[in-house]
Amino acid sequence: MIPIANPIFAKNTSKYLNECLKTGWVSSKGPFVERFERKFATYVGTKYAVSCTSGTAALHLSLVALNVGPGDEVITTAFTMISPVFAILYTGATPVLLDVDHMTWNMDVSQIEKKITKKTKAIIVVHIYGHPADMDPIMALAKKYNLFVVEDGAEALGSEYKGRKIGSIGHVSCFSFYANKLITTGEGGMVVTSNKNIAGTLGSLRDMAHSPRKRFIHMQLAFNYRMTNFQAALGLAQLEIVEKLLVKKRRIAYYYTQFLKHQEGLQLPAELSWAKNSYWMYAVLVKKSPKISKSVLQAALADKHIGTRDFFVPMHQQPALLSLGLFKNDRYPVAEDISKRGMYLPSGPHINRSEIKTVCDIIQHQYERV
Ligand SMILES: *Cc1c(COP(=O)(O)O)cnc(C)c1O
């Protein structure tokens, strides 16, 4: 059996977790939280990092810290895991969607400007499946129209845009440490920024906005989104091997590409000249053909106990959002198309070359049969 993803745990994991037990620091006020935050900020290349309970919480905190609220519009991509759109809605703001680029599946930057209105306050840029979005034009528009840029790097920790790590380019950036992300804390998230005021606000919002003078006097509506010392201990151990994990992901992608590059029925993941792709998942598009469809390939793989996953369903087709009256007559043709034809192949760090070859042989065999 080859699962779609599964975590690897670093050597120091049990040592750090035991330290939490021995010292009794199990809640959020423990030394690992600060150590994890400091090391994470250094890794991404920002001045500050504020840990929290999930990637979704990180996005919510970011928007609240940037004063996004009712009456504001936030532009994001139609093709994403739903968290950015949920986070926008938590604040009472309105999500505005963009279609995506057919190569990278990230927001089509040529369409941003026409979506900007007087109400636009921010852009949430999702780096999908590990490929960075085209940040320069986004930052230029943000400057021109005085908008905040929030990077959602949940799927792209370690990816680079023109030699800079993603997460260090926008005003605020968010990460997730769910089990299938590059590094995991079980559940967890992080917001990074180099703006001292925003970092202070984020820290306060995550922890109930206690008055700095007197605890339990609360200065504004806030949240308990605190990461535990346990989670941070796990995260610190993972972060110590992040480069190793990244090399593994890129090697997995290399093997898949070697075995599949002559298969004309598939569009393989892109890595544009200015990009370093972290290949969070090895994602492929099944090209339109009367003979073979995505479901045929998925069934053949499932038959051999090999997991695959469909691409995300676009935001304008999500029942939760349609039931709120959003995106009623919206069409995002590229997002709709790739969602139907896209799947990702097993990409967990345990998978080895021969297992990857097995997966690819099964795919090749299906094309040879027809
Ligand atoms: C995983 C993910 C999130 C949410 O992270 P959680 O920790 O599961 O809340 C947000 N955005 C993207 C793009 C993701 O892939």
Q: How far, in Å, from the CA of 116 to the mean position of ligand 1? A: 25
d(C-alpha 98, C-alpha 114), whole Å: 10
d(C-alpha 153, C-alpha 174), whole Å: 6
Tell me which residues have their CB closer than 6 angstroms to ligand 1: 54-56, 80-81, 83, 126, 152, 154-155, 176, 178, 189
pLDDT of residue 8: 84
pLDDT of residue 190: 98
pLDDT of residue 369: 85
Q: What's the Cα-to-Cα distance from 126 to each of 102, 116, 154, 170, 350, rounded to whole Å?
A: 15, 18, 8, 11, 26
Name the residue with tokens 């994001």.
76
What is the chain's pLDDT, residue by residue, as a tens digit (370 residues)? 888 878 888 889 999 999 999 999 989 989 999 999 999 999 999 999 999 999 999 999 999 999 999 999 999 999 999 999 999 999 999 999 999 999 999 999 999 999 999 999 999 999 999 999 999 999 999 999 999 999 999 999 999 999 999 999 999 999 999 999 999 999 999 999 999 999 999 999 999 999 999 999 999 999 999 999 999 999 999 999 999 999 999 999 999 999 999 999 999 999 999 999 999 999 999 999 888 999 999 999 999 999 999 999 999 999 999 999 999 999 999 999 999 999 999 999 999 999 999 999 999 999 998 7
Helix residue ranges, H only, the chain: 13-23, 31-44, 55-65, 83-90, 135-145, 196-206, 229-240, 242-260, 294-303, 319-322, 333-341, 353-369
pLDDT of residue 146: 98
Q: How far, in Å, from the CA of 341 to the mean position of ligand 1? A: 22
Name the residue with tokens 């970092």.
199
**Atom from ligand 1 closest to the CA of residue 177:** 7
Helices 229-240 and 242-260: crossing angle in degrees, nearest 10, is 60
Cβ distance 297 to 343 under 8 Å? yes
**Atom from ligand 1 closest to the CA of residue 126:** 13
Q: Which residues contact 298 (CB under 8 A, 6 or more apart)?
A: 308, 343
Name the residue with tokens 């605890």.
215
Q: How far, in Å, from the CA of 174 to the mean position of ligand 1? A: 9
d(C-alpha 143, C-alpha 253), whole Å: 35
For ligand 1, atom 4, name the residue with the nearest CA. 55
**Atom from ligand 1 closest to the CA of residue 58:** 9
How far does CA 75 lie from the centroid of its chain?
A: 17
Q: How far, in Å, from the CA of 194 to the mean position of ligand 1? A: 22
Q: How far, in Å, from the CA of 106 to the mean position of ligand 1? A: 15
d(C-alpha 301, C-alpha 360), whole Å: 10
pLDDT of residue 115: 98
For ligand 1, atom 2, name the residue with the nearest CA. 154
For residue 242 the two structure tokens come to 């992040």
For residue 225 the two structure tokens come to 């989104």
d(C-alpha 128, C-alpha 106), whole Å: 6
d(C-alpha 271, C-alpha 344), whole Å: 16
Q: How far, in Å, from the CA of 125 to the mean position of ligand 1? A: 13
